[in-house]
Structure 1
Amino acid sequence: MSTLIKSAIIIDPTGPHHKQQKDILITNGIIEKIATTIDKKSDYTVVNLDNLHISCGWFDTSVSFGEPGFEERETIVNGLQVAAKSGFTSVAVNANTNPIIDNKAGVEFLTNTANKQATSLYPIAALTQQSKGAEMAELFDMQQSGAIAFSDYNKPVFNDNLLKIALLYAQNFDGLILSFPKNNAIAGMGIVNEGINSTKLGLKGAPALAEELQIARDLFILEYTGGKLHIPTISTANSVKLIKEAKKKGINVTCSVAVHNLLLTDNELHNFDSNTKVNPPLRTLKDTKALQKGVKEGTIDIITSDHNPIDIEHKKVEYSQAKNGTIGLESAFGALNSVLDIETIVKCLSINPKKRFGLTSTSIKKGEKADLSLFNPKTEYTFSEQNILSTSKNSIFIGKKMEGKAYGVFNNNQLILN
């Protein structure tokens, strides 16, 4: 089977065809030829799209689908279709399920269910048994079954010694530990950022300090133990500063930021739209500016959609009772492209996450596997429910102007277009 991609502008900073407009011929999933013009043949599937750009496939490091246990939110198969049409060739799926993915059988369930899909699934298994934070799960067994990292999704590792032991133990098999940045004792019952808006609206606030204290603790422990630590979805200016200082000291830490925390502030809370209830919460303009700067200068390594579908029964309720979370795959590129340049986006969605989470990196050149994201960076539109492909509709970006849209992917010898 051959697919001919016509007149694509290649965004591949590490490859030989960066910023060049080329035709690309793919045969049996492998790039066979790249040239200025490649003649069509009758048996070719031809892709000829307006202002087509391609890059090495995007990898989202924090995605929740619900299955097993919450299939009404999103099944694995439908979620992977959403990811493909949103431009993602790979996703790391959180143990945000029922039962929690905390053993070998659970990891294998995820990988088997995702088999033969265009978008590849990589499990992030639970760090502790049932994500309760008490006893460490069987990390090595789960890695042998396909887990690429270990995290209790959106739950902090409150036991200092457990994090120390996990970081030491994981070094035996080069495992990656994730530690969610939140000190529950300081955050208390807070559901939004503590500040002017939380006071005006009468909503319980969680201070930035809750995040920053946890990061400071994690970095001290990491400096003592060694190993590999990834801090997911930071949200404050001081968090960026702490991680920047740690990297200067040579500590092996990386971090990510969610798209919505990178763009939106707690001014969004004034309509009491429960789609704006996320964890970590939306912060201030000072924070978003610091996060954007952190991405541009390389302190923040990875951008994630933090896609977390929540059914209507748990979102269309009083704000304080609503579950945290927003879907984000469909809106990720259009939102990012309004504040970042293409090369930075590709670096944070493809190059950096694959390197940190141990995925094989590819380049757009002859002989390589075709692992490609297809997109148009110039399309302007307002994101609406009609743009949502997920089963759940809890998008924080409804009504927001977008610049750029994903066309889809070519991966695992499959072409999926939106």
Structure 2
Amino acid sequence: MNLIFKNATIIDKNSPFNNKTVDIKVESGIITKIGNNIPAENSFETVELDNLHISKGWFDSSVSLGEPGYEDRETIANGLNVAARSGFTDIALQPTGNPVADSQSDIAFVLRRSEGAATTLHPIGALTKGSEGKDIAEMYDMKNAGAVAFGDYNKSLQDANLLKIALQYVQDFNGLVIAYAQDDKIKGKGVVHEGIVSTRLGLKGIPALAEELQIARNLYLLEYTGGKMHIPTISTARSVELIREAKAKGLEVTCSVTVHHLLHTDEVLGNFDSRYKVAPPLRTEADRKVLLDGVLDGTIDIITSDHNPLDVELKKLEFDLAKDGTVGFESAFGALNTLLPLEIIVEKFNAGKIIFGLGNHDISEGSKASFTLFNPEGEWFFTQKDILSKSKNSAFLNQKLKGRAYGIYNNGKLILNS
């Protein structure tokens, strides 16, 4: 497919064309010319979109899909299509299927199912067998099969020695350990943040300490072992401070925050709406502000949608019984664009490629064409018809967003919203 993207404003701080409106010529998946008024040719299709902006392709570092085992929630094929239409050229797939992706064959399976898609799937292998926290999984074999990191989704490794061994083991092949932070004993039976709101609603609370204590422990382990650690979806002010201090020491630690933790607080729980039941729980306004500061000062490396499709039978329950999770692809950009500068959004949607050891292609002549197409302007209300996922459990339903992703060009394929 040969294309000319007309009148596109490039958002790429490393490009000499940053913030300039130009035409981009793509031949056989390679950018061959960037300039003004590139003439159309017979073998080229012209792409012209209102207020078109283009950046390096966005990467979502935490995505759950149903397949294998829970295809009623989401399939890999549809999930990748939704990701593409939401602006993501790359996603990291959590090992949340049935069976859990804890072996070479499991990694090979999800990669086969993603073949031919415009959005590239990068599997995360389970850190422990069955994500049960008892025995280290076959990380080296999974790495050879294509796994980009190792972690047990939303499960914290309670055995400190097991995490120590994992951090030491992956250094032989430059592996990345994902260490979700939550002390299960302190969490107990909590379902929301412990504070004024949980007391008012009569719901069992999860103290911020449950996250912070585990992060402190994990950082001590990292300081002892060396290696690389990624702490996903942090949610408290003290967590930001702990990671900032660790980075100042020179530890090789990175972290992410979710879109919904940057936009929402536990005050939205007043109606016991399980769409807002997520892990970690939504925290206070004070926490949200520090998370935002952490994004702006670089302490927080990645923003993720933490996309987790769940069918109605898992969410339309009493709040205590409902499963944690929200879909996030479709609303991610529009929600963040109401809060953050555009350049920061693009930066945080790209940083994970370097952290996870993936290619990050510049928008320059001679480079592979892998980019996101979007319009940063225009306010609109996000409704159920805008949810392309099979499951509809969105924490942003009926909220005002700003700007939309048009789609992507990646792997030689152009995917646009109709």
TM over 0.5: yes
Q: How does 1:166-185 map to 2 (within 5 A)?
A: 166-185=166-185
Q: Return the alpha-carbon distance in structure 2 between the equivalents of residues 94 and 324 of structure 1.
A: 15
Compute the TM-score of the two structures, normalised by the length of structure 1.
Answer: 0.99
2:133 paired residue number: 133
Deviation for aligned residue 1:399: 1.4
Q: Deviations over 1:11-37 (max 9, x none)?
A: 011122111101001111111111111
2:190 paired residue number: 190
2:98 paired residue number: 98
Q: Deviations over 1:154-185 (max 9, x none)?
A: 00011000000000000000000001010101
1:21 paired residue number: 21
Matched, 1:314 2:311: no
Q: What is the one-letter code of the residue matched to 1:260?
A: H
Q: Return the alpha-carbon distance in structure 1 between the equivalents of residues 410 and 37 of structure 2.
A: 22
Q: What is the one-letter code of the residue matched to 1:43?
A: S
Q: How does 1:385-400 map to 2 (within 5 A)?
A: 385-400=384-399
SS at match of 1:320: coil
SS at match of 1:287: helix
Q: Deviations over 1:275-311 (max 9, x none)?
A: 1000000001001110010000000000000000000
Matched, 1:145 2:145: yes
Q: What is the one-letter code of the residue matched to 2:287?
A: D
Q: What is the one-letter code of the residue matched to 1:110?
A: V
Deviation for aligned residue 1:317: 1.2
1:374 paired residue number: 373
Deviation for aligned residue 1:386: 1.1
Q: Calculate the aligned-residue CA RMSD, in Å.
A: 0.6
Q: Return the alpha-carbon distance in structure 1 between the equivalents of residues 277 and 360 of structure 2.
A: 35
Matched, 1:363 2:362: yes
Q: What is the one-letter code of the residue matched to 1:273?
A: D
Q: Return the alpha-carbon distance in structure 2 between the equivalents of residues 199 and 43 of structure 1.
A: 65
Q: Deviations over 1:7-61 (max 9, x none)?
A: 0000011122111101001111111111111112233222111111010000000
2:346 paired residue number: 346
Q: Deviations over 1:249-282 (max 9, x none)?
A: 0011000001001110001101111110000000
Q: How does 1:233-312 map to 2 (within 5 A)?
A: 233-312=233-312
2:412 paired residue number: 413
Deviation for aligned residue 1:361: 1.4
Q: Return the alpha-carbon distance in structure 1 between the equivalents of residues 318 and 129 of structure 2.
A: 32
Q: Return the alpha-carbon distance in structure 1 between the equivalents of residues 164 and 62 of structure 2.
A: 23
Q: Return the alpha-carbon distance in structure 2 between the equivalents of residues 390 and 237 of structure 1.
A: 32
Q: Deviations over 1:168-217 (max 9, x none)?
A: 00000000000101010111110100000001011111011100000000
Q: Return the alpha-carbon distance in structure 1 between the equivalents of residues 143 and 334 of structure 2.
A: 34
2:87 paired residue number: 87
SS at match of 1:140: helix
Moved more, 38-47 or 375-384: 38-47
Q: What is the one-letter code of the residue matched to 2:317?
A: V
1:327 paired residue number: 327
Q: Return the alpha-carbon distance in structure 2 between the equivalents of residues 252 and 229 of structure 1.
A: 7
SS at match of 1:105: helix
SS at match of 2:89: strand
SS at match of 1:186: helix
Deviation for aligned residue 1:127: 0.2
Q: How does 1:26-45 map to 2 (within 5 A)?
A: 26-45=26-45
Q: Return the alpha-carbon distance in structure 1 between the equivalents of residues 18 and 157 of structure 2.
A: 42
Deviation for aligned residue 1:417: 0.4
Structure 2: give runs of 5+ residues left out of the alignment. none
SS at match of 1:331: helix
- Structure 1 stretches of 4+ with a deviation exceeding 4 A read none
Q: Return the alpha-carbon distance in structure 2 between the equivalents of residues 109 and 379 of structure 1.
A: 40
Deviation for aligned residue 1:319: 1.1
SS at match of 2:24: strand
Q: Deviations over 1:354-383 (max 9, x none)?
A: 110000111001110110001111121011
Deviation for aligned residue 1:96: 0.8
Q: Return the alpha-carbon distance in structure 2 between the equivalents of residues 100 and 18 of structure 1.
A: 42
Q: Return the alpha-carbon distance in structure 2 between the equivalents of residues 262 and 174 of structure 1.
A: 31
2:120 paired residue number: 120
Q: Return the alpha-carbon distance in structure 1 between the equivalents of residues 409 and 228 of structure 2.
A: 31
Q: Return the alpha-carbon distance in structure 2 between the equivalents of residues 87 and 223 of structure 1.
A: 37
1:12 paired residue number: 12
Q: Return the alpha-carbon distance in structure 2 between the equivalents of residues 70 and 83 of structure 1.
A: 18
Deviation for aligned residue 1:400: 1.2
Moved more, 39-48 or 399-408: 39-48
Q: Deviations over 1:205-263 (max 9, x none)?
A: 10111000000000000000000000000000000000001100001100000100111
Moved more, 12-21 or 140-149: 12-21
2:63 paired residue number: 63
Q: Return the alpha-carbon distance in structure 2 between the equivalents of residues 181 and 375 of structure 1.
A: 34
Matched, 1:214 2:223: no
Matched, 1:53 2:39: no
Q: What is the one-letter code of the residue matched to 1:302?
A: I
